[in-house]
């Protein structure tokens, strides 16, 4: 074998550091963090990129990905109608391959008429899945690339040549609040009134802040956000000039063998300033009647969503009111699982469960209508999902929350945040929760909201 190129930190990849298998090469890296930074910057020359990063979150029993970078679309599906039928066909064409992509919150909203059309304007299509040309998978210091020697090392040499720009001082980015605090509180009170009247039980109401004529380095912002949040479902998405920088803590749906799992989040509280305060806040979240009521309603909704394509009697609530700690917040998460019916394609089960109950409410159709008529923006990719199918036929996907949306051509930055409203909701506290969820995002952007 010819001499391998220098990879990182002046070390060489020798023959005993390299394993070639069919269509793959495995390499032991000496500087993992440097590789991550350079590989993501190298990928920016392509129109289609998705990075999945679990941030080593040890409490996730179902994660299969540690860090995977998918680059350049060799084949893709981008339908303009019959979205899930098109996705099902595409997935069946690539059953033994890794494919990944996204779909927006409003992918199923054709039947919901808006009184005033709200425009997302951020360039993401309703659904897009692709078969990547390059796949870089990291587990510890072991890198697997879907290319054989010597092509792998030609790619690595190009990645190695990438320069990591020095961190320039960020100028402050000014955001405009699309829904004022006054209007938000009025909306919460209206939602509570409709709940009292029996229109629905719970509704996830969202707001957005927007910065126009603003430019950012999407990769640098994502890396800062990832450091700030260390979320288990973080992802970086590039679709032409549109970017999603996501630090989501929430799984939408996954498939492992014949088992499907959903893990909705309902219940949020800040981290404490010391160990004692942190423990007290976790206990407060766990015993909050309001948060438990929110959570159990969504659990019931998810159970109903899974029923159509689950084996009879297989739906199980594996964990109710689990309190999980993340870098910036504690969250209440429940886990619902089921066995997928043997005659059911996973895409049909996904379609039946989407949009996820944690970002809509109950009953789902009624709250979706209210959301469409009363939020002053189209959610677009926010409240949608980023996901993948792997060669084993397994599937995983997140809930697109805690995210920055950016259109580099329009120089537009958007941050959207939401929370569940129930009969017991206190409007001021709900507004404070919105601010808490938004904080890590604005910090990563050096952003400030004009109220």
Residues known to be catalytic: 250, 266
CB of 262 within 8 A of CB of 245? no
CB of 203 within 8 A of CB of 371? yes
Say which DSSP state 115 is in: S
CB of 422 within 8 A of CB of 294? yes
Say which DSSP state 82 is in: S
Beta bridge partners of 420: 204
CA distance 447 to 445: 5
CB proximity list for 93: less than 8 A, separation 6 or greater? none
- The closest alpha carbon to 413, from 444, 385, 391, belongs to 444
The residue whose two tokens read 């309001």 is 290
| Range 118-122 contact pairs with CB under 8 angstroms and sequence separation of 24 or more | 118/375, 118/376, 118/377, 118/378, 119/377, 119/378, 120/377, 120/378, 120/379, 120/380, 120/381, 121/407, 121/410, 121/412, 122/242, 122/380, 122/381, 122/405, 122/406, 122/407, 122/410, 122/412, 122/414
- The closest alpha carbon to 103, from 66, 70, 77, 133, belongs to 77
CA distance 425 to 192: 8
CA distance 298 to 339: 19
CA distance 144 to 212: 40
CA distance 406 to 403: 10
CB of 242 within 8 A of CB of 124? yes
Alpha helices in 161-207 (DSSP H): 181-196
The residue whose two tokens read 């309703």 is 126
CA distance 38 to 235: 16
CA distance 390 to 253: 14
């Amino acid at each position: 074998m010819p001499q391998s190129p220098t990879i990182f930190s002046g070390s060489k990849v020798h023959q005993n550091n390299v394993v070639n298998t069919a269509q793959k090469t495995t390499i032991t890296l000496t500087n993992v963090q440097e590789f991550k930074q350079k590989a993501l910057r190298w990928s920016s020359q392509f129109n289609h990129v998705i990075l999945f990063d679990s941030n080593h979150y040890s409490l996730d029993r179902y994660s299969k990905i540690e860090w995977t970078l998918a680059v350049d679309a060799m084949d893709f599906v981008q339908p303009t109608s019959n979205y899930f039928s098109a996705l099902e066909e595409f997935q069946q064409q690539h059953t033994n391959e890794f494919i990944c992509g996204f779909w927006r919150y409003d992918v199923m909203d054709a039947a919901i008429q808006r009184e005033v059309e709200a425009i997302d304007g951020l360039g993401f299509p309703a659904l897009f899945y692709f078969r990547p040309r390059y796949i870089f998978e990291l587990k510890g210091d072991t890198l697997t690339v879907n290319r054989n020697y010597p092509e792998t090392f030609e790619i690595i040499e190009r990645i190695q040549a990438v320069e990591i720009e020095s961190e320039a001082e960020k100028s402050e980015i000014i955001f405009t609040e699309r829904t004022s605090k006054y209007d938000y509180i009025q909306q919460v009170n209206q939602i509570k009134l409709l709940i009292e009247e029996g229109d629905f039980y719970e509704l996830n109401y969202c707001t957005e802040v927007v910065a126009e004529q603003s430019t950012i380095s999407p990769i640098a912002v994502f890396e800062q956000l990832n450091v700030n949040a260390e979320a288990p479902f973080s992802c970086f998405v590039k679709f032409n000039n549109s970017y999603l920088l996501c630090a989501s803590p929430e799984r939408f749906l996954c498939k492992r063998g014949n088992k499907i799992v959903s893990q909705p989040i309902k219940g949020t509280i800040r981290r404490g300033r010391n160990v004692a305060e942190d423990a007290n806040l976790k206990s407060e979240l766990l015993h909050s009647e309001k948060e438990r009521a929110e959570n159990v309603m969504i659990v019931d909704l998810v159970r109903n969503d899974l029923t159509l394509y689950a084996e009879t009697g297989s739906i199980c609530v594996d964990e109710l009111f689990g309190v999980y700690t993340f870098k910036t917040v504690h969250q209440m998460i429940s886990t619902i699982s089921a066995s997928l019916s043997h005659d059911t394609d996973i895409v049909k089960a996904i379609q039946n469960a989407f949009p996820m109950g944690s970002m809509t409410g109950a009953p789902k159709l009624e709250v979706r209508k209210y959301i469409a008529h009363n939020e002053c923006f189209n959610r677009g990719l926010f409240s949608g999902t980023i996901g993948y199918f792997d060669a084993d036929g397994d599937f995983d996907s997140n809930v697109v929350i805690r995210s920055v949306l950016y259109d580099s051509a329009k120089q537009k930055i958007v941050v959207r945040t939401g929370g569940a409203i129930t009969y017991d909701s206190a409007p001021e506290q709900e507004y404070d929760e919105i601010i808490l969820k938004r904080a890590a995002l604005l910090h990563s952007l050096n952003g400030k909201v004009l109220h």
